[in-house]
């Protein structure tokens, strides 16, 4: 609880700041977040309170942050050596994946979370600042009230002024509904067709049963189950059509909810480990482990950990090791 002395001190500071608040009200201010603040929990919370206060009194704060030490720490965890030339980091494609994961998935989300806890309303909104040469995914959760006969999903375009121009293209809306029946029957042919359509020789499906009372979700006590489908004979795979090099492909869709597909190529018999990590460097799921025959493999991951528990929204990375081959990529879960 704040003491009387602390309250008086804050009141004094606000009175002294009043002329500057009036002068800069409505202005945009750029604030650098880094250094000792990033490694001090007390300073983090003080920083978040100050940002919220600036917004409340009419300023528009923009936060600029780095994260070099955190990037290097993550690279060490993933077995990739950080390289510098004249003090500048050498950034190849894999290093860029890790950099984006750390800056966007960890540091940026932590800043937003801190500000949220201080009472400032922060939401993700599509604006003209977003890249115009790629598709962006936005998602939210909603509950349909009992007795509703129609559900509509849409988007709203809001212009800051009456003289704004430009185009926004929307590709599709997806609405996922929970299964309310007691049975769901899938044929082996349907499972195999998915592998054929995606041009892979091996496909791993995982599933679990969850129940909900409208407030909490509970998974089955027996945990997640898995079935592996091999369609190499159906496709007539021969030596000429097998992969010629190791590869880990970009997952799709990405961002995703509720499932995503991870594809990788194995050109020779070898031991393979495919794992998912969160932004704290903790392994949350092992998707594949053991000897693999040559072929293209696909795993459908439903955003659960090794215990069958659903994971929270955010950025994750998937890492494969097959012999001496190591590759990492990022994926984003949006709920």
CATH number for 68: 3.40.1160.10
Can you tell me the distance from the alpha carbon of 31 to that of 148, in angstroms, rounded to the nearest whole number?
47
> Do both 329 and 192 map to the same domain?
yes
The answer to whether the beta carbons of residues 22 and 14 sit under 8 Å apart is: no
Question: pLDDT value at position 237?
Answer: 46
3-state secondary structure of 309: coil
Is 153 among the domain residues?
no
Position 286 in a domain:
yes
Look at the chain and report how many structural domains it folds into: 2
Candidate from 188-192, 235-239, 293-297 with smallest mean pLDDT? 235-239
Q: What is the pLDDT of residue 33?
A: 85
Mean predicted confidence (pLDDT) in 262-267: 92
Q: What is the pLDDT of residue 321?
A: 95
User: Any idea which of 23-27, 90-94, 115-119, 128-132 has the lowest mean pLDDT?
Assistant: 115-119
Model confidence pLDDT, tens digit, residues 181-222: 666 677 766 777 777 666 677 778 777 777 766 566 777 888
Distance CA(293)–CA(169), nearest Å, equals 43
Quick one: pLDDT at residue 200? Answer: 74
The answer to whether the CB of 279 falls within 8 A of the CB of 110 is: no
CATH number at residue 240: 2.60.40.1930
Q: What is the pLDDT of residue 314?
A: 85
Q: Where is mean pLDDT largest: 27-31, 141-145, 188-192, 224-228?
A: 27-31
| Same-domain status, 101 and 199 | no
Looking at residue 73, what is its pLDDT? Answer: 82
Are residue 96 and residue 202 in the same domain, yes or no? no
Higher pLDDT, 75 or 170: 75
Say if 18 falls within a structural domain.
yes
Give CA torsion, residues 275, 281, 284, 285, to 10 deg: 0
Q: What's the burial of 21, exposed, middle or buried (CB within 10 Å: 0-12/13-18/19+)? A: middle
More confident residue, 282 or 237: 282
- What's residue 139's pLDDT? 65
Give the number of other Cβ atoms within 10 Å of residue 36's Cβ.
7
pLDDT tier at 120, thresholds 50, 70, 90: very low
pLDDT at 275: 95
- Over 90: is that where the pLDDT of 276 sits? yes
Give the DSSP H or E segment for 332: strand 325-333
The more confident residue out of 187 and 298 is 298
Are residues 193 and 79 part of one domain? Answer: no
Q: Looking at the structure, do residues 95 and 192 belong to the same domain, yes or no? A: no
Residue 155 falls within a domain, yes or no?
A: no
Taking only the tens place, the pLDDT of each residue in 124-177 is: 566 666 777 777 777 655 566 566 555 656 665 555 555 656 677 766 666 666
Q: How far apart are CA 20 and CA 24, in angstroms?
A: 6
Question: For residue 316, is it within any domain?
Answer: yes
Q: Which helix (H) or strand (E) holds 300?
A: strand 295-301
What is the predicted pLDDT for the residue at 292? 92
**Who has greater pLDDT, 221 or 121?**
221
Is the same domain home to 72 and 198? Answer: no
The per-residue pLDDT of the chain, averaged, comes to 77
Single residue among 84, 101, 117 that ends a domain in this structure: 117
Domain of 258 in residue numbering reads as 188-333
Determine the average pLDDT of the residues in 233-249.
Answer: 70
Indicate if 203 and 324 belong to the same structural domain.
Answer: yes
Cis peptide before 258 (omega within 30 of 0): yes
Is 199:226 a contact under the CB 8 Å cutoff?
A: no
Final residue of a structural domain among 117, 136, 152: 117
Is residue 47 a part of any domain in this protein? yes
Cα–Cα distance between 72 and 89 in angstroms, integer?
10
Cα–Cα separations (whole angstroms), residue 203 to 47, 178, 223, 229 = 48, 24, 20, 5
Do 110 and 12 lie in a common domain?
Answer: yes
Residues in the chain: 335
Whether the predicted pLDDT of 273 surpasses 80: yes
Does residue 137 sit within a domain?
no
**Domain closes at, from 117, 140, 161:** 117
Confidence label for 265 from pLDDT (cuts 50, 70 and 90)? very high
Do 194 and 325 belong together in one domain? yes
| Statement to judge: residues 109 and 199 lie in one domain | no
Residue 329 and residue 207 share a domain: yes
202 shares its domain with 328: yes
- The answer to the question of residue 177 being in a domain is no
Judge whether residue 2 has pLDDT over 60: no
The answer to whether residue 19 scores a pLDDT higher than 70 is yes
pLDDT in the model for residue 181: 61
Q: Give, in degrees to the nearest 5, the angle at Cα 49 between 46 and 55.
A: 145
Q: Is 135 in a helix, a strand, or coil?
A: coil
Mean pLDDT within 91-112: 78
């Amino acid at each position: 609880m704040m003491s009387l002395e602390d309250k008086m001190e804050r009141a004094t500071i606000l009175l002294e700041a009043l002329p500057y608040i009036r002068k800069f009200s409505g202005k945009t201010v750029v604030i650098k977040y880094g250094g000792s603040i990033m490694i001090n929990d007390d300073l983090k919370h003080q920083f978040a309170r100050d940002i919220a206060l600036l917004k409340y009194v009419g300023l528009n704060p923009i936060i600029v942050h780095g994260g070099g030490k955190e990037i290097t720490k993550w690279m060490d965890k993933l077995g990739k050596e950080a390289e510098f030339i004249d003090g500048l980091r050498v950034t190849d494609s894999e290093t860029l994946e890790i950099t984006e994961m750390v800056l966007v998935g960890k540091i940026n989300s932590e800043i937003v979370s801190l500000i949220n806890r201080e009472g400032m309303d922060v939401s993700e909104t599509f604006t003209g600042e977003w890249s115009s040469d790629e598709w962006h995914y936005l998602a939210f959760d909603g509950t349909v009230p009992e007795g509703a006969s129609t559900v509509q999903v849409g988007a709203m375009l809001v212009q800051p002024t009456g003289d704004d121009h430009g185009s926004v293209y929307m590709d599709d809306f997806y609405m996922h509904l929970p299964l309310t029946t007691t049975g769901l029957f899938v044929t082996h042919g349907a499972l195999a067709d998915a592998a054929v359509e995606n041009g892979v020789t091996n496909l791993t499906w995982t599933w679990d049963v969850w129940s909900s009372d409208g407030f909490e979700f509970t998974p089955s006590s027996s945990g997640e189950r898995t079935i592996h489908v091999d369609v190499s004979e159906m496709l007539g795979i021969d030596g000429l059509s097998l992969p010629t090099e190791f590869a880990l492909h970009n997952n799709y869709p990405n961002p995703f909810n509720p499932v995503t597909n991870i594809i990788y190529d194995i050109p020779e018999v070898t031991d393979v480990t495919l794992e998912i990590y969160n932004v704290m460097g903790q392994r949350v799921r092992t998707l594949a482990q053991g000897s693999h025959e040559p072929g293209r493999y696909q795993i459908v991951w439903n955003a659960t950990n090794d215990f069958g528990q659903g994971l929270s929204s955010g950025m994750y990375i998937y890492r494969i090791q097959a012999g001496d081959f190591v590759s990492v990529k990022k994926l984003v879960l949006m709920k």
